[in-house]
Amino acid sequence: MSGEELAVLNFDRVFQYALRVSERYRRNLALVMMSGEREQSDFSELIAPLVRRSDELLELRDCAAVLMGETNGEGALQAVQRFKRSCPEDAGLRYAVACFPDDGKAASLLLLNARRRLDVARGQQPGTVVSAD
């Protein structure tokens, strides 16, 4: 199993746990995905110092994802603004946000919505944030 496959399995385990906790205690959960024009590892290095210790950062081949517990849509958009202020413009980052429970109550649905929104953002200019369909 490759390192990326192990990272995805770990992220999925953390995601499933965070989702169960959010559902049980009626708390929010946000997933922010981002993609850029630079090599993926470059923008993940830019974002990593900005991610809270309680958040999970996953680096994939074509994007990065940040799972933010106890964060609603407004909080996720504030985090995106922090990312945008701290990253150079030439990184060309585009962002997508999906939140529990508003955008789905299952991990697969949240991922689907975030991925679909990221595809929309990729068709727009750098700095675009898509948080609704």
CATH of the domain at 66: 3.30.70.270
Confidence of residue 38 (pLDDT cuts 50, 70, 90): low
> What pTM did the predictor assign?
0.91
Q: What is the pLDDT of residues 45-58, one digit of tens each?
A: 788 899 999 999 98
Residue range(s) defining the domain that contains residue 112? 3-130
For the purposes of burial, counting CB atoms within 10 Å of the CB of 116, is it exposed (0-12), middle (13-18) or buried (19 or more)? middle
List alpha helices for the chain, DSSP H: 3-24, 40-47, 73-86, 107-122
Report the number of distinct structural domains present in the chain.
Answer: 1
